[in-house]
Amino acid sequence: MKILLTGANGYIGRRLLPVLVMQGHEVICLVRDKRRIELEDKIIDKVQFYEADLLKPEQLQNLPKDIEAAYYLVHSMGSSSKSFQEMEKNTALNFVGAINETTCEHIIYLSGISNDDSLSKHLTSRKNAESILAEANASLTVLRAAIIIGSGGASFEIIRDLVEKLPIMVAPKWLRTRCQPIAIRNVINYLSGIIGKEESFGKTYDIGGPDILTYKEMLLIFAQVRGLKRYIITLPVLTPRLSSYWLHFVTATSYKIASSLVDSMKNEVIVENKGIEDIVPQKLIAYSEAVKMAFDRIAQNEVVSSWKDAFASSKIDTELMEFVKVPTHGCFIDKRTATFERDRSEVLQNIWKIGGDRGWYYWNFLWKIRGYMDKAVGGVGLRRGRRSPDQLVAGDSLDFWRVLIADKKEGRLLLYAEMKLPGEAWLEFKITKENEKNKIIQTATFRPHGLFGRLYWYSVYLFHEFIFKGMMNRIIHHRENEKESVVTT
């Protein structure tokens, strides 16, 4: 079957894609930038890419016409609270307009459980998207999920942050709300198993795991799985705004996503619309087992996708390549070079492991302080970490940076700052060869916005003098015992 997969580089799409390929389907991935997807050779040869932005209908005109089915895995939860509903409406309308020009017979949409009479803005927006998709010529099947538990997932990482960082939690009253979490494996099985099943056409199904739990129970079970003792006190006095700030400061999520999540947590998300279990039978994984499985993936460095890599949670919400060409005009530039005798691949590997648990090699406590300051003014901070300890691809989040270029062959890593700044900043590492010697070039570029941006650069200039010099030397020498000749300019 020829399938169109939207959201192919998202948290769910990246995991669904190899399953569809292994089932023998011909998959066309609709993405804004195909370089953001890193696939195994045995899979990438069987996948086609169509680059387009669903907010720009003119880019969808050349979509292949012989599509038989399509997955709609698009959402805008991380966007501005004032605009995400309009964005979701427009992307759904543009998708329907494009899909009506094809021979598509079946659309599968992953939505959120929305059975309450009074819904949050987020769940209301998802339900509105269902209504728009139902107007397409193709038959629609809607799968509504509650919290999805899997390595790299937003809910999983937020729960992990709360449990592992807070022995005692003074939490909002929404922790008493009930939900029915579902393991990512079960979600992928439902999505891949429902395709083409005519008995599901025009139907809506709620999907959930075997456990109905409060959010408080989920936190305590998570702690039990991790061998941690945790105490939770719920207070009725924390407003939604305070609750959002609480989530933002304690976890890796942005304030926008935290606000959307808190707004949605007033709604119970329990399975009511049943029937999919008869069409796609499978063993549902208990919540505690799903948590264990997620940590198994983490331990094996097999987190193939993460919610933090989505551009919806990023300040880069347009074309990735607009930020790849680092400007020079009107910019402050801190450029440092060094030659080294060490094996190129070892230094390159140190560059590729920067950030996350390893840190930034030199005066790491100052990087942490900068992260706390960023969180305090509504930025992403350092808690996003990284998807993998030793792999980077374009589009990955890396603490408060976004990976724009990660080219090991060329020896180049380019990062764009997503911290709160009075300007824009880039950090680039590049390894070249000069006079038969390996050379590392480390360049920090800052394009200020107005007078305050210039004052900001001068205020941190002395810190940069020590940090950037020390960081480059540590990248060269990290885990090396032998002396090397290092010339810094």
Pick the more confident residue, 95 or 373: 95
Q: Per the structure block, which two tokens stand in for 196?
A: 């083409």
What mean pLDDT comes out for the span 411-415? 92
Confidence band of 488 (pLDDT split at 50, 70, 90): very low
Domain ranges of the chain: 2-309, 314-488
Pick the more confident residue, 328 or 323: 328
Burial environment of residue 450 by CB neighbours within 10 A (0 to 12, 13 to 18, 19 or more):
exposed
pLDDT at 323: 47
DSSP 394-430: TT-EETTEEEEEEETTTTEEEEEE-S--SEEEEEEEE
What SS3 class is residue 27? strand
CB contact burial 137-158 (16+ within 10 A = b; e otherwise): ebbbbbbbbbbbbbbbbbbbbb
CATH of domain 2-309: 3.40.50.720
Share of the chain above pLDDT 70, in %: 82
**16 has a pLDDT exceeding 80:** yes
pLDDT in tens, 422-439: 888 999 999 998 888 999
Name every residue whose Cβ is closer than 8 Å to that of residue 14 and which is 6 or more positions away in sequence.
Answer: 8, 37, 304, 305
What mean pLDDT comes out for the span 52-67? 92
Query: What's the mean per-residue pLDDT of the chain?
Result: 83
Confidence band of 227 (pLDDT split at 50, 70, 90): confident
Task: For 181-244, give the secondary structure using H, E and C.
Answer: CEEHHHHHHHHHHHCCCHHHCCCEEEECCCCCEEHHHHHHHHHHHCCCCCEEEEECCCCHHHHH
What mean pLDDT comes out for the span 294-302? 60
DSSP 357: T
pLDDT at 246: 64
Contact status, residue 216 vs residue 153, Cβ threshold 8 Å:
no
Which residues are registered as beta bridge partners of 338? 440, 488
pLDDT at 473: 93
| Residue 3, CB-side half-sphere exposure with 13 Å CA sphere | 29
CA distance 254 to 154: 11
- The correct answer on CATH 3.30.530.20 for the domain covering 314-488 is yes
Contact status, residue 35 vs residue 100, Cβ threshold 8 Å:
no
